[in-house]
Structure 1
């Protein structure tokens, strides 16, 4: 994310700068239109499509006291709901940025690189924390951990409780909102490809689990992944406040590898063994059954390739850090210049960042971040 520079000079109305500076207010007005639509009978039916969760199915349970339980399935109307909550995500992004992150940044004197990373980690830490806590509460309330076979038994899991469906809608909405945020936050051109790659991966995996009725497996894998990512971004925020605190990165490195192994194990167990040995083999759009060999292979291939890609990026990241650390240790072992030589270099301006930036402590700290 780029650094937003506030100017006392008001930009022209509807110009790029005007939209960027006031995008939160503009989006809030659009969201308010849908909320006001609920107040009038003529528009309420239209506004409900955007605000409330659609495709409600009531199931009656037989017993001493007959009760009705509401479940939901997915459909094309979910796009309207996702659009509305994407607007909510943009508003929440702006609130966190203005009232939390910007106030913290004013107390620090970050470089442009650290400024961008601090904003990114601050936003993602808030999202991962809420998503992890919410997802973990759903897993415990639905008893998925106590009964792992529920991940593939009674497939397809087309009917979902309200909290699971709303969780997926919010997840898709959040990662879609990151796309316009690339423009609103003035993201650097060289950072856009990296951002687009991980946005695409999130959307494909979350929407894939939602559409293919693998919502139980997807929920557990998301919570596991979000926990590891939360640790990384919190560790980076702590590192920016005190660069000597790097224990969190070491813990994250171990959990990252374990998380990849556990993700592969659960995916193979559920898709490769559980669904492969299920009785309801076949393809049926009306019942939401996608339990055929081609779909199973595609799902496993997608998960395996993504985990391999993440491990490749992780290994390259660690190797780069080790090389930088080794180069720093090598420089420390070299004998320092004589006092006269140092004074001469300093006088000529070659003893600082201008000529030997790689040798300065400040530069090393920025690279290690």
Structure 2
């Protein structure tokens, strides 16, 4: 980060310079936006980066409340929070994960996975607390019918919209982090898969006005992922720690997500009166759209379950192969004692005596 000591200097704007100073570059860009708030000429543009746009006043019984809807200007806000996320990523990496990994003395492969799980533990823990707070304060848990009633949910509270913008910013920032963190080529396809999976689901719930259902599904998914990556960190610290808690919760979470998605989309939205396709009003409640969303959710859960079963079977196979290999190793055979041929008689003062007391007769060598 800024003002830290550099052990090695790189040419300006070279590849290594950008990789080692990307957080400082992002910090300078964020600082420029914050300085823009101080001047009246640039304040409007600076607020465009920092605050959610498209606010609208909705009258209530007592007064008016401010709600938001989405639009193209959200991309500018997401870009600003991408730089914020890059800075926070570097802070967690340098001041927490690097200090822990030095004590563990991990290999290169385990070091990469340790950094990945460490970053995701911090993110999932923060997201679970934030998402749970939003769900409780907005009353989505106490009133499950609100997930599909009054659809389309075009007008979003501030905290709901800001949560979605930050979620999109985090998963978009994960794409350049693959380059900044020098992730191994073998790990890139796997990480790209789950990054794109999160982006498609979060952006789909945001753009199709299924934000309430998306919050509940994210809460379930992030809780499971938090347990998994926490168990993974404990495993790297001590290989005797197994990931049994996460394995037990994983299948239950998949079942809950599928049940809730079918209940809200397949039954709740299907019984709503307004089922006309109207993108201007944000209404996507048609049979085709519902089938596409359900198919996407079911396919994603089936793919995750298949990967989970495949990995568990591989781990069990490796475990049993190790156990069987240990049983096959025979005990080291003992070498038989060498038989020493003793001459008949006994020893007396270092001279072999015959049984009758006389010394044995020495053989004479024949002369040639």
- TM-score, normalization by structure 1: 0.87
Deviations 1:286-321 (A, max 9, x none): 221110111111100100110111011101100000
Distance 2:236 2:188 in 1: 23
Structure 2 residue matching 1:291: 3-state secondary structure: coil
Q: Which residue of 2 aligns with 1:348?
A: none
List runs of 5+ in structure 2 lacking aligned partners: 336-368
Distance 1:88 1:7, change over 3 A: closer
* Higher relative contact order, structure no. (Cα contacts within 8 Å, ≥ 6 residues apart): 1
Bigger Cα Rg: 2
Distance 1:165 1:209 in 2: 11
Q: Write out the 4+ residue segments of structure 1 that deviate beyond 4 Å after TM superposition.
A: none
Shift in Å, 1:39? 1.1
Q: Which residue of 2 aligns with 1:11?
A: 10
Over the residues paired in the alignment, what is the CA RMSD in angstroms?
A: 1.5
Deviations 1:258-306 (A, max 9, x none): 1111111111111111111110111112221110111111100100110
Q: Which residue of 1 aligns with 2:21?
A: 22
Deviations 1:201-255 (A, max 9, x none): 1100000000000000000000100000000000111111122221xx1121121
Q: Which residue of 2 aligns with 1:54?
A: 53
Q: Which residue of 1 aligns with 2:201?
A: 205
Deviations 1:312-335 (A, max 9, x none): 110110000010110011012123
The structure whose residues are more often helix, as a share, is 1
Structure 2 residue matching 1:22: 3-state secondary structure: helix
Distance 1:7 1:149 in 2: 56
Aligned counterpart in structure 1 of residue 270 of structure 2, from 270, 276, 279: 276
Q: Which residue of 1 aligns with 2:82?
A: 86
List runs of 5+ in structure 1 lacking aligned partners: 1-5, 342-369
Q: Which residue of 1 aligns with 2:144?
A: 148
Asked if residue 306 in structure 1 is aligned to residue 291 in structure 2, the reply is: no
- TM-score, normalization by structure 2: 0.87
Deviations 1:323-355 (A, max 9, x none): 0110011012123452789xxxxxxxxxxxxxx
Asked if residue 239 in structure 1 is aligned to residue 235 in structure 2, the reply is: yes
Distance 1:243 1:340 in 2: 35
Structure 1 residue matching 2:70: 3-state secondary structure: coil
Aligned counterpart in structure 1 of residue 255 of structure 2, from 246, 258, 261: 261
Q: Which residue of 2 aligns with 1:97?
A: 93
Deviations 1:175-220 (A, max 9, x none): 0000110110011112111111111111000000000000000000
Q: Which residue of 2 aligns with 1:43?
A: 42
Q: Which residue of 1 aligns with 2:339?
A: none
Structure 2 residue matching 1:271: 3-state secondary structure: helix
